[in-house]
Amino acid sequence: MPQQPRTIEEILPKKAVVLGPMAGITDAPFRAICKKLGASLTYTEMVSAKGLHYNPQSRVSNSLLTVADQEEYCAVQLFGAETEILAEQAAGVVERLGTQLALIDINMGCPVKKVVSKGEGCALMCDPDLAARIAGSVVGACKVPVTVKFRSGWDASSINAVDFARLMESVGVAAVTVHARTRGQFYQGHADWNLIAEVKQAVRIPVVGSGDVFSADDVVAMFERTGVDAVMVARGARGNPWLFREARSLLDFAERLDPPSPLERVDVAREHVASAVRAAGDAAVLRMRKHVAWYIFGLPGARQLRHELNVVKSPLDIDRLLLEYRASLANQAQRGRGL
């Protein structure tokens, strides 16, 4: 593994397809699966800089900074609005993770009320001067590349992504990620890919595009329509980590892979459950209920299995249900030769 910090070009190679940060979803077990299936880079869930500062022994905060062996390295996303605390904690993460850390990403796009009400997340787009001070301070404190993820703007009347990207570039940020929705949109409506293209034209640093990427075809289309350096997949990866493998095949070889079979989907769900249990014990049950539901979505008998999953309290019960479900799918395949 390299001893010197990786450059942004090494971290985000040409036409990289990355797994974006998602609270409650992109923990180490899920990131490892996505990396194995072709993700160029993975991001942690967003981590509170204040949480690390005021409660450094917090089990929750520290679990978010766990890097799976299979990942090799990942990006850590921090959020907050206090310049000194963000810089201090970013430097601490760099020291703590060493070569397991690819880069520090600053969240300036989260739309959730409890975050923006404290001046954090997307609220920072309403105070560009503070955002620039924060980004510049973190850049100065870190030996690894620092990136910023933000939105189109606060609302339709204050779209400032282009100017915001230029500002981030001016204080030394190594790359920017643009989720082309406003805070007012949350995750509704459509992402404005034309705005992402404008940002790409406005800055010299790498630009990562985000928003409405739910298939390998969407990945290819975003590259073609926006000219971005990398594409970020977030919600589109839930229950479908194969998207990365499929996108790489289209991008690198112009070859369309077959989607995963129902049996493969169940097998990876079981692998994910086992990994999550090793990481978090019985506490993994609640999180894995939703992950398994995403993996089996649209498969025969999935609705009944979801009902059964919602009442289980043991990881062993989840695995038992998945084994029984797999057997039923295999029987159907043997009878119909269609699965």
8-253: CATH number: 3.20.20.70
The residue from 110, 122, 126, 142 that is catalytic is: 110
Domain boundaries, the chain: 8-253, 262-336
Whether 293 contacts 265, CB under 8 Å? no
- Burial string for 51-67 (b: 16+ CB within 10 Å, else e) reads bbbeeeeeeebeebbbb
Integer Cα distance of 76 and 80 in angstroms: 13
Q: How does DSSP classify residue 281?
A: G
Dump pLDDT digits (tens) for 179-230. Answer: 999 999 999 999 999 999 999 999 999 999 999 999 999 999 999 999 999 9
Mean pLDDT of 284-298: 95
Range 15-30 average pLDDT: 97
The pLDDT assigned to 228 comes to 99
In 116-220, DSSP assigns E strands to 146-153, 175-182, 207-210
Tell me the angle at which helices 161-170 and 193-202 cross, rounded to the nearest 10 degrees: 30
How many Cα atoms occupy the beta-carbon half-sphere of 186 within 13 Å? 3
Residue 150 CA from chain centroid, whole number: 13
Angle at CA 206, nearest 5°, toward 201 and 207?
65
Question: What's the pLDDT tens digit per position in 299-311?
Answer: 999 999 999 999 9
Asked about 110 being catalytic, the answer comes back as yes
Task: Report the percentage of the chain scoring pLDDT > 90.
Answer: 89
Q: Is the pLDDT of residue 259 over 90?
A: yes
Q: Which positions ≥6 away from 23 have C-beta within 8 Å?
A: 45, 46
Average pLDDT score over the chain: 95
Q: Is 179 helix (H, G, I), strand (E, B) or coil?
A: strand
Evaluate if residue 1 carries a pLDDT over 70.
no
With 60 as the cut, is the pLDDT of residue 339 above it?
no
Name the pLDDT band for 337 (thresholds 50, 70, 90). low
Which pair of tokens denotes residue 142?
């870190």
Query: Which pLDDT score, from 0 to 100, does residue 4 have?
Result: 66
Dist CA 55 CA 303 (whole Å)? 41
Tokens representing residue 27 in the block? 């923990």
pLDDT in tens, 85-118: 999 999 999 999 999 999 999 999 999 999 999 9
Average pLDDT over residues 61-83: 93
Q: Which tokens hold the place of 124? A: 């920072």
Burial of 145 from C-beta contacts in 10 A (0-12 / 13-18 / 19+): buried
In Å, how far from its chain's centre is CA 307? 28
What pairs with residue 16 in β-bridges?
230
Give the torsion sign (CA, 32, 99, 136, 120).
Answer: positive
Q: Which amino acid is at 296?
A: I
Closest CA to 236 of 61, 17, 13: 17
Task: Write down the residue that tokens 């249990």 correspond to.
Answer: 277
272 pLDDT tier (thresholds 50, 70, 90):
very high
Average pLDDT rounded to a whole number, residues 166-173: 99
| Per-residue model confidence as pLDDT tens digits over 128-160 | 999 999 999 999 999 999 999 999 999 999 999
CA distance 329 to 295: 14
Model pLDDT, residue 2: 47
Give me the pLDDT at residue 141, please. Answer: 98
